[in-house]
Amino acid sequence: MADNYQLESGKIYYSEDYLTLDPGDGPVTLRIGEWLNRDPVRIHKMVIREKVLQVDQTEVFNPLITKLRRADLAYYKRIMGLKVMIDFPGFSSEVEAKIPFDTDPVGFYKWWRKNKHENVVFLSPAYQFILFQKVAKMEPKILLKKDLEFLKSF
């Protein structure tokens, strides 16, 4: 496609709208829906981090999150954090990780750290600090040495 569709500030993009981006080997023009398949991480960063691309929530953003999970699972887990759905003991179906994190910090800590589920739920250092602090107040003896050291470093 010869046309150049530069990013328009303030425009809300839908899946059929065209956009020209440079993936490194020269400008490429595709519909937003095609960009979701080709480079979902880049599109997500443009929407969330850089805030230079505004997209329709239903038609573009929701499918983007699904595509991210398939395209780059590690990136998906980092951006989802406590919003990721998990199988947690005591719940009959998958639950957002934030629920046991908030309601049962000791149980969540045991599940996350001692059962080796760090790869399932990504916790930023700030959320690790919050969790370790809650656990230290409730049941300090279960904290691993490295987590106690992490708490003391603040």
- For residue 63, the model assigns a pLDDT of 95
- For residue 19, the model assigns a pLDDT of 96
Which residues, 6 or more positions from 25, have their beta carbon under 8 angstroms from its beta carbon?
none
Please tell me the distance from the alpha carbon of residue 24 to that of residue 8, in angstroms, as a whole number: 21
* Same structural domain, 135 and 102: yes
Structural domains counted in the chain: 2
Phi, psi at residue 95, to the nearest 5°?
-135, 150
Q: Does the structure show a pLDDT above 80 at 52?
A: yes
Residue positions counted in the chain: 154
Q: Which amino acid is at 47?
A: V
Residues paired with 85 in a beta bridge = 96
pTM of the model: 0.75
pLDDT in tens, 104-136: 999 999 999 988 899 899 999 999 999 999 999
Q: Does the structure show a pLDDT above 90 at 83?
A: yes
* Same structural domain, 147 and 86: yes
* Same structural domain, 92 and 112: yes
Residue 30 located in a structural domain: yes
Containing structural domain, residue 134: 81-152
